[in-house]
Amino acid sequence: MKQRMEQKLQAEFAPQLLEIIDESEQHRGHGGYREGGETHFRIVMRSDKLSGMSRVARQRAVMACVKLELEERVHALALDVSAPTPVSE
Alpha-carbon distance of 89 to 87, in angstroms, equals 7
Alpha-carbon distance of 64 to 58, in angstroms, equals 10
All domains in the chain, ordered by first residue: 2-82 (3.30.300.90)
Q: Which residue has the higher pLDDT, 63 or 28?
A: 63
Q: Is 90 exceeded by the pLDDT of residue 37?
A: no
Q: How far is CA 75 from the centre of its chain?
A: 12
Per DSSP, the residues of 51-78 read TT--HHHHHHHHHHHTHHHHHHT--EEE
| DSSP at 41 | E
Amino acid in the structure at residue 13: F
User: What is the reported pLDDT for 1?
Assistant: 86
Amino acid in the structure at residue 72: E
Q: Which residue has the higher pLDDT, 86 or 83?
A: 83
User: What is the reported pLDDT for 30?
Assistant: 63
Q: Is 80 exceeded by the pLDDT of residue 76?
A: yes
Are 11 and 43 in contact by the 8 Å Cβ rule? The answer is no
Q: Is 60 exceeded by the pLDDT of residue 27?
A: no
Q: Which residue has the higher pLDDT, 66 or 87?
A: 66
